[in-house]
Amino acid sequence: MSIMKLRFLGLCALAVIASCLYPVCQVLRLPEKVSLSIAPGVSLELILVRPGEFLMGASGNIVQQSKFPPRKVRITKPYYLGKYEITQQQWSAIMGSNPSCFLSPVNPVERFNTVECYEFIARLNKNGYGRFRLPAEAEWEFACRAGTTSAFSWGDQTSEATLYCNFADSAAGEGSIFKRFGFGWADMNARDGFETTSPVGSFKPNPAGFYDMHGNLWEICSDWYSETYLPDSPVIDPAGPETGEIHVLRGGSWGDEITNCISGSRAKQWDTRWWVMGMRVAWDPPGPLHRLVHVFRY
Ligand SMILES: [Ca+2]
C-alpha cells in the first residue's frame, strides 16, 4: 500500500474518531445551569439534563394513573428544562397579558390555551437563544425521576409529601373552590398550606434541582395524548403519536390527590383553559458553546 494511501486512510480514521467524540465533548462542555434574560428584568433558569436510560412509568408502591407497564426508555440527546414552572411574571413579560385565575407574579401561569402556549414559545424563540419547546413526556419524566424509581422523586412515602408538593391538602379542602364544587378528595390530614397554586419554588426540589415537578400545576408536554399509543411506542427518544387533538399532562396539581402527583402519573388535557394546567419549557442550546453569548452561569 502506498504512503499516500496510508495517509488518506489515517485521515479518514481521525475524522471518524473526531465526529464520534464531538457530541461527547459537546455534552461535557455544556454548563449544568444557565439563566437567560428573556425580557428586561426577567430571567429564565434552566438545568441541564444529560442523556441516559430510565424506567418510564415505574410507580413505586402507588398504583399508576396511566395503567401502562413500566418500560426502559433511552434519552440520547442533552437538553435543558426549566428549573421552575413558567411564572405569571415571565408569561406577562412575553405575552403582555395574564390569563391566570390565581393572580400573583411569582405563581405559575395557568388558564392559557394551547394556541397561546405555542405563541409564548414562538416569542421566546425570537430571542435567538436556541430552541425553546415543550418537553416530550419522556423527557419530563426522566428529569422528574432524576435517577429514582420510587413513586415520587423523594421516595415512596406520602407522609413526606407536604415538604415537596402542593396537592389537595386540608387547605384546599377547607377552601372555597373545593366547597363550591363539592370536591371531596382533599387529604384533610395533610397540610401543605396552599389552597390553590403556590409561588414557584415554595417546596423542596427533586434530586436534580427541579421544583414543583410534583403538584402545583399539571404541566403540558409536546406529546399528543393517546389511550393506546404508549406501550408500543419507540423506546429511544419517544415523542408521542404524530397527530392528535389534546396533549399529555404530567405531574399532578394543587387540585389533585397526592396519588395523582407521582412521577409516572399522566393525564390528558381536559379543557382549553384550565386552572390546574401550567407549563415548563425545554431548551436546546445553539450549537457550539462559543455561540452562547447571552448565557450566564449562575
Ligand atoms: Ca395544597
Q: Please choose, from the candidates 196, 195, 215, the residue with its C-alpha nearest in 3D space to the C-alpha of residue 204.
A: 215
11 vs 53 pLDDT, higher one: 53
Spatial separation of the C-alpha atoms in residues 141 and 264, rounded to whole Å:
7
The rounded distance, in Å, linking the Cα atoms of 103 and 119 is 21
| Residues 61, 5 share a domain | no
Clarify whether residues 22 and 49 are in a common domain.
Answer: no
Q: What is the mean pLDDT of residues 247-255?
A: 96
Counting residues of the chain whose pLDDT is more than 90, the rounded percentage is 74
Please, which residues bridge with residue 43 across strands?
A: 37
Both 124 and 23 in a single domain?
Answer: no
Residue 223 lies in a domain: yes
CA of 276 to the centre of ligand 1 (A): 12
Q: Where on the phi/psi map is residue 133: left (φ > 0), alpha (ψ -120 to 50), or beta?
A: beta
On whether the CB atoms of residues 81 and 143 are closer than 8 A, the answer is yes
The CA 60 to ligand 1 mean position distance, Å, reads 23
Domain of residue 10 covers: 1-30
Identify the CATH number of the domain in which residue 237 sits.
3.90.1580.10
CA of 279 to the centre of ligand 1 (A): 18
The arithmetic mean of pLDDT across residues 275-290, rounded, is 84
Ion ligand 1, residues whose Cβ is below 5 A away: 166, 169, 172, 192, 194, 254
Instruction: Mark whether 125 and 2 lie in a shared domain.
Output: no
Grid cell digits, residue 20: 464520534
Calculate mean pLDDT across residues 150-159.
94
> Quick one: 73 and 46 in the same domain?
yes
| Residue 79: inside a domain | yes
Distance 223 CA to ligand 1 centre (A): 27
Share the mean pLDDT of the chain: 88
Ligand 1 centroid, distance to 116 Cα (angstroms): 27
Residue 235 and residue 253 share a domain: yes
Q: What's the total number of domains in the chain?
A: 2
Q: How far is the CA of 219 from the centre of ligand 1 (A)?
A: 16
Q: What element of type H or E holds 139?
A: helix 137-145
81 shares a domain with 22: no
Rg (CA), the chain: 21
pLDDT digits (tens, 9 = 90+) for 78-99: 999 999 999 999 999 999 999 9
Residue-wise pLDDT tens digits, 118-143: 999 999 999 888 899 999 999 999 99
Phi, psi of 242 (to 5 degrees): -75, -30
